[in-house]
Amino acid sequence: MIAALVCGAGVGAGLWLIVRGLFPPRPSLAHALAQLRRLPEPAPVLTPEPEGGFAARLGRPLADVLARSKSDWLLPSKVRQDLAVLGRIPERHLAEKVTLALAGLLFAPAIAVLLALGGAHLPLVVPLWASLIFMVAGFFAPDLGVHAEATRRRRDFRHALSSFLDLVVVALAGGGGVETALADAASVGSGWAFGYLRRALDQARLARQTPWAALGRLGQQLGITELSELAASVALAGTEGAKVRASLAAKAASLRTHQLAEAETADQAASERMSLPVVLLFAGFLLFLGYPAVQKVLTGL
């Protein structure tokens, strides 16, 4: 019965996808005119590598179908920013989500079949609801892991950004222009964060764009507000001739202060977590000492 339900759901989903592909919805006139007048988008600053394992290759066909159906809610903008920070393409992540969702959908029926072979029969509603819950959990679980990893990577980027600002201030103090100071500061540093900055500035130079526009676009793609604020400050110096060296130095100092506060908070949280095993050990020791006396009292009654 469970296999019939799963097969029926698969056949229904396949028929719906076939009908959607043969008869796609016609766009409205306003949307068609907007597409004709739409300006070409600038080239993306980030160029993630199309890598992936077995899960990504297994779910790639269905993920391509979902991507062509314009289902943007499957990968919200926040998840896309996290993927940009990690250097992963959205198609790979969507394929992994689809694979885990299918695995969660089939996990409960497989367990139910094994229990039935062992002589234990479950009601039909139990594996059905379990399949739906595992499918939803398997689809959204990769987003949580990506967000946690992207948060750590953004923290590392902010550390590199404070050093980048110090280098820009030194270059400006030496009498260099804004564009020259940005290029020199990006060429000095090493690591993936400085690689992103160099790539953004190189693309801006090749496309004959302002470097602060490329830095602002990079901040939007990575979801780092400090980089967008840096681009706005540098834009004032490049377009209106504002003295930006003092503001950049203050911004670098504020970034370091914020990072120091985050480090102290993390240390305090780690200290609190370390006290928990000591409390549990002390409680077990008290239980070990008091057990003989409690047993004698209970047996004496």
User: Which tokens is 36 given?
Assistant: 């004709």
pLDDT tens sequence across 154-168: 888 888 888 888 888
pLDDT tens sequence across 43-92: 555 555 555 666 666 666 776 666 666 666 677 888 888 888 888 888 78
Alpha carbon distance 247, 249 (integer Å): 5
Q: Which tops the pLDDT comparison, 69 or 295?
A: 295
- Angle (CA) 14-18-19 rounded to 5° is 120
Q: Is the pLDDT of residue 218 over 80?
A: yes
Quick one: DSSP state of residue 72?
A: G
Please check whether residue 88 is in contact with residue 50, taking contact to mean a CB–CB distance below 8 angstroms: no
The mean pLDDT value for 196-221 works out to: 86
Mean pLDDT of the chain: 77
CA diameter of the chain: 92
The mean pLDDT value for 123-146 works out to: 84
Helix H or strand E encompassing 80:
helix 77-86
Q: To the nearest whole percent, how much of the chain has pLDDT over 90?
A: 0
For residue 218, count other CB atoms closer than 10 A to its CB. Answer: 24
Which residue is it, tokens 């919805």?
Answer: 25
Please check whether residue 134 is in contact with residue 105, taking contact to mean a CB–CB distance below 8 angstroms: yes
pLDDT number for residue 71:
61
pLDDT number for residue 241:
47
Q: Is the pLDDT of residue 138 over 80?
A: yes
Q: To the nearest whole percent, how much of the chain has pLDDT over 70?
A: 75
User: Which tokens is 245 given?
Assistant: 């060296």
Alpha carbon distance 190, 196 (integer Å): 10
Which residue is it, tokens 């693309």?
Answer: 203
The mean pLDDT value for 97-115 works out to: 83
User: Which tokens is 236 given?
Assistant: 């004032």
Alpha carbon distance 21, 137 (integer Å): 28
State pTM to two decimals. Answer: 0.66
pLDDT number for residue 39:
47
The mean pLDDT value for 216-232 works out to: 84
- Angle (CA) 232-235-241 rounded to 5° is 130
Q: Which of 30-39, 197-206, 230-239 has the lowest mean pLDDT?
A: 30-39
Contacts 24+ apart (CB under 8 A), 168-174: 168/248, 169/245, 169/248, 169/249, 169/252, 172/244, 172/245, 172/248, 173/245
Burial class (CB in 10 A: 0-12, 13-18, 19+), 92: buried
Query: What length is written for the chain?
Result: 301
The mean pLDDT value for 257-274 works out to: 81
Alpha carbon distance 279, 260 (integer Å): 29
pLDDT number for residue 34:
67
Q: Is the pLDDT of residue 41 over 60?
A: no
Where do the structural domains in the chain lie, given as residue ranges?
A: 155-256
- Angle (CA) 140-145-146 rounded to 5° is 95
For 164, the 3-state DSSP assignment is helix
pLDDT number for residue 291:
79
Alpha carbon distance 260, 48 (integer Å): 31
